[in-house]
């Protein structure tokens, strides 16, 4: 019995001891055991990469070591000696290290993102001096932009704590940001990792660290940026912006601004250089907006290409004088000439015929007055009138591209709609986003916003814009062998306080697309405040666009096309015109003799009819081939004559 009792007592003691160990000291002992067989460590996953549309790296991350100090421990040893020894290893002065120690506490950064040489030197120093209790390293991802300034204003940059601060880096920060996870590494008695533990590491499968693939083509981007640098050197402007878009998909193929910066050293530049002017700069578009007005007028049938206008050189609307870009009168012209020569007087009249409601309706249908939703931070909406608040002068000035404000990306989208048979698309800067495991998280698709113009109207408008480049104000944007359509613009800059315009300060621009028969690219070039005295869009922006068109069309391997307008003027000059027969006999009072219009252009025929006192109507295009009333016929003044034009 005594033995049994002793055994029961012993068993009770064991149970109590087991319970005490498990319940009271369990966590402490488990932690102690865990420290003997391995160690906890934090694992930092690198930030996701940013690629161009062809998979070329635009932004990548690599893991680097950052050095910290524990001032509370360092102050117990030899702080001055530590500062003197450590400073030259990390490129700092002893005073800098002493200041860090003087801050106190348990953690102070000494230097972020050490180079490999710095890391090796400090690691050896810590081991030699046995300073593991006061100096240590933290793995941090360092962002690197291998192409330096290329697409900097689109990409943005990353600040401390792996936080995106501008551009794509900011917009998609929550998706591409790295993540810190805790892991346990098994070690042997000498604290060396056990191989099985190393091999058990799994790739990151969280919801961050995604790879963003842009619609940008790095080769096209490089071409554009080279030309912008040249434009800066030639014109000495405050800034230059260019956007290249695929009109069939809405993909932005290139987007660049000058001035710019190197995102690897973003802190060396002013915030103004960080700005992506393509989406965040609003300005009066000037005559480039006339493309939209012309389309609206043709759609509403308030004008036809051959309709005749009388241009006195200026018009007065609600007490406001609106004159042509050169202050001169072009006389009797057709609407085609109004577009080709960008006549403000003609567009003011067209705008008044359209009215405020229609003018604002079409501006909105083309996408003005609201952000495009391209997916970049800081995008502006622009400024449009409320139709109810518009006076006649507001209508007239809006029709010539003043009194409203747009962004470059909005203007590019509008021109892309004209190139795309009148259909407005949503622009994209991101092509796709891939998860860390390689699966697809998101892929952008062609997205139609609406139809701004009917197909037939759009084709007519394209024909007018093609003539602008072929033989109008945009001739310097022409590329031999290719059919290009577009519109130039020259707009006076508004004062910062909005109280009028700055004298002698302009924004010159050109926006167009090519090739006309199968548009592949839309190009906008905007030169802000040129400092050379030459400020017309047709003179300084169109040549930049010409060089960009020429290089990009070759890069895209677009076959040359025949320009139907290339030899028109030469043909008209070389074609002998028959001498009109003189009317014989007396001309009664109130009667006139119908002139011979054979071989004349529309403009020349309209001017001749006006000089003779006839009402003029035209059909077709090219040169005059027939007329409703034969030449040398005696008719009353004011009689209407219709002239047919053809090739």
Q: Which residues, 6+ apart, have CB-to-CB distance to 404 below 8 Å?
A: 284, 285, 289, 363, 368, 382, 383, 384, 385, 398
**Using the 8-state DSSP alphabet, how is residue 532 labeled?**
S
Give the containing element (helix H, strand E) for 243: strand 239-245
The structure tokens listed for 504 are 């002698």
For 117, the 3-state DSSP assignment is: helix
Q: What's the Cα-to-Cα distance from 200 to each of 10, 195, 223, 621, 635, rounded to whole Å?
A: 44, 9, 47, 77, 101
Q: Is 509 an active-site residue?
A: no
Q: E-strand spans in 286-401?
A: 308-311, 314-317, 320-323, 331-334
Whether residue 407 contacts residue 380, with contact meaning beta carbons closer than 8 Å, is answered with yes
Whether residue 316 contacts residue 444, with contact meaning beta carbons closer than 8 Å, is answered with no
The structure tokens listed for 53 are 């549309």
The structure tokens listed for 522 are 């839309």
Whether residue 282 contacts residue 406, with contact meaning beta carbons closer than 8 Å, is answered with yes
Among 242, 236, 275, 324, smallest CA distance to 529 is for 236
Q: What's the Cα-to-Cα distance from 440 to each of 59, 212, 435, rounded to whole Å?
A: 19, 10, 6
* Interatomic CA distance for residues 477 and 467, integer angstroms: 12
* Interatomic CA distance for residues 483 and 573, integer angstroms: 22
Q: How far is CA 97 from the centre of its chain?
A: 45
Q: How far is CA 607 from the centre of its chain?
A: 44
The structure tokens listed for 269 are 């530049």
Q: What's the Cα-to-Cα distance from 611 to each of 569, 579, 582, 593, 605, rounded to whole Å?
A: 23, 18, 16, 12, 10
Q: How many CB atoms lie within 10 A of CB 607?
A: 18
* Interatomic CA distance for residues 373 and 422, integer angstroms: 19
* Interatomic CA distance for residues 510 and 490, integer angstroms: 9
User: Judging by beta carbons within 10 Å of its beta carbon (0-12, 13-18, 19+), is residue 225 exposed, middle or buried?
Assistant: buried
3-state percent breakdown (helix, strand, coil) of the chain, nearest 5: 40, 25, 35
Q: How many CB atoms lie within 10 A of CB 572?
A: 15
Q: How many CB atoms lie within 10 A of CB 24?
A: 10
Whether residue 433 contacts residue 213, with contact meaning beta carbons closer than 8 Å, is answered with yes
Q: What's the Cα-to-Cα distance from 234 to each of 70, 531, 551, rounded to whole Å?
A: 56, 9, 19
Q: What's the Cα-to-Cα distance from 378 to each of 68, 203, 410, 507, 554, rounded to whole Å?
A: 36, 35, 14, 21, 34
- List the catalytic residue out of 45, 61, 218, 287: 287
Give the per-residue SS3 of 573-599: HHCCCCCCCCCCCCCCCCEEECCCCCC
Catalytic residues: 287
């Amino acid at each position: 019995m005594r033995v049994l009792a002793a055994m029961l007592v012993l068993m009770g003691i064991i149970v109590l001891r087991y319970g005490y160990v498990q319940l009271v000291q369990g966590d402490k002992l488990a932690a102690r055991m865990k420290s003997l067989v391995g160690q906890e460590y934090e694992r930092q996953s690198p930030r996701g990469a940013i690629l161009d549309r062809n998979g070329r790296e635009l932004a990548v991350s690599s893991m680097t070591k950052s050095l910290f100090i524990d001032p509370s421990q360092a102050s117990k040893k030899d702080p001055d000696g530590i500062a003197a020894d450590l400073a030259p290893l990390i490129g700092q002065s002893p005073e800098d290290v002493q200041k860090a120690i003087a801050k106190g506490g348990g953690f102070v950064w000494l230097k972020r993102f050490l180079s490999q040489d710095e890391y090796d030197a400090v690691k050896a120093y810590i081991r030699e001096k046995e300073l593991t209790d006061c100096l240590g390293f933290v793995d941090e991802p360092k962002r690197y932009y291998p192409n330096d300034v290329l697409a900097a204003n689109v990409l943005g940059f990353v600040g401390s704590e792996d936080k995106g601060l501008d551009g794509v880096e900011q917009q998609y920060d929550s998706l591409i940001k790295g993540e810190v996870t805790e892991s346990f590494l098994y070690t042997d008695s000498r604290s060396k990792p056990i191989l099985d533990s190393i091999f058990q590491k799994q790739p990151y499968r969280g919801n961050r660290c995604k790879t963003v693939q842009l619609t940008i083509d790095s080769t096209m981007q490089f071409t554009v940026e080279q030309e912008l640098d040249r434009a800066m050197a030639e014109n000495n402007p405050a800034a230059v912006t260019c956007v290249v878009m695929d009109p069939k998909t809405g993909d932005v193929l290139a987007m660049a601004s000058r001035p710019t910066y190197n995102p690897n050293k973003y802190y060396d530049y002013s915030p103004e250089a960080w700005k992506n002017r393509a989406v965040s700069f609003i300005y009066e578009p000037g005559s480039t907006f006339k493309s939209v007005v012309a389309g609206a007028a043709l759609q509403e049938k308030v004008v036809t290409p051959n309709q005749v206008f009388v241009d006195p050189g200026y018009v007065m609307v609600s007490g406001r004088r609106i004159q042509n870009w050169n202050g001169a009168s072009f006389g009797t012209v057709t609407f085609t000439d109004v577009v080709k020569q960008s006549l403000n007087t003609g567009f003011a009249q067209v705008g008044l015929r359209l009215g405020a409601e229609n003018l604002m309706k079409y501006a909105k249908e083309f996408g003005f007055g609201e952000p495009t939703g391209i997916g970049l931070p800081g995008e502006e909406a622009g400024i449009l009138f409320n139709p109810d608040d518009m006076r006649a002068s507001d209508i007239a000035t809006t029709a010539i591209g003043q009194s409203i404000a747009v962004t470059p990306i909005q203007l590019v989208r509008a021109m892309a709609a004209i190139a795309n048979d009148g259909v407005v698309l949503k622009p994209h800067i991101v092509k796709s986003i891939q998860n860390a495991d390689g699966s697809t998280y998101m892929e952008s698709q062609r997205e139609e916003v609406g139809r701004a113009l009917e197909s037939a109207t759009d084709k007519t408008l394209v024909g007018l814009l093609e003539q602008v480049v072929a033989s109008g104000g945009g001739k310097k944007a022409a590329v031999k062998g290719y059919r290009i359509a577009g519109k130039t613009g020259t707009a006076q800059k508004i004062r910062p306080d909005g109280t009028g315009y700055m004298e002698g300060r302009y924004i010159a621009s050109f926006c167009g697309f090519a090739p006309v028969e199968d548009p592949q690219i839309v190009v906008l070039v905007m030169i802000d405040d040129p400092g050379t005295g030459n400020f017309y869009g047709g003179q300084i922006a169109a040549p930049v666009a010409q060089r960009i068109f020429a290089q990009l069309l070759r890069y895209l391997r677009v076959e040359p096309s025949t320009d139907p307008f290339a030899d028109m003027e030469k043909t008209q000059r070389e074609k002998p015109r028959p001498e009109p027969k003189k009317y014989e006999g007396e001309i009664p009072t109130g009667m006139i003799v119908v002139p011979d219009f054979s071989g004349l252009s529309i403009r020349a025929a309209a001017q001749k009819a006006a000089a003779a006192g006839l009402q003029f109507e035209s059909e077709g295009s090219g040169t005059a081939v027939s007329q409703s009333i034969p030449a040398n016929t005696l008719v009353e003044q004011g009689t209407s004559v219709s002239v047919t034009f053809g090739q």
